[in-house]
Amino acid sequence: MALLITEDCINCDVCEPACPNTAISQGKDIYQIAPQRCTECVGHFDEPQCMEVCPVSCIILDPLKRESHGELMDKYRKLMADASS
């Protein structure tokens, strides 16, 4: 699954730099996560770093973007390959 930032976001700015895939950006009202870039930190860390640093726990698993660990790893590998080309 990709992660989702809920409307409880307080725009504290700590999640964006914590994301190793640069999947987080400032949206119109709150931060948002690009599902095509979010691997839940699979390939980088054991736990999603944005969830670890969020002071209000407003980052959840997106129920509409379900992905297996293998699919997340495949996405990680593609992102890394794209970054090195």
- Cα(65)–Cα(54) distance, integer angstroms: 21
State the pLDDT confidence band at 85, using cuts at 50, 70 and 90.
confident
Predicted structure pTM score? 0.92
What pLDDT digit, counting tens, does each position of 19-45 carry? 999 999 999 999 999 999 999 999 999
**pLDDT confidence of residue 29:** 96
Cβ 6 vs Cβ 57: under 8 Å: no
Q: Over 13-76, what HEC string results?
A: CCHHHHCCCCCEEECCCCEEECCCCCCCCCCCCCCCHHHHHCCCCCEEECCCCCCCHHHHHHHH
3-84 domain in CATH 3.30.70.20? yes
Question: Would you list the domain boundaries of the chain?
Answer: 3-84
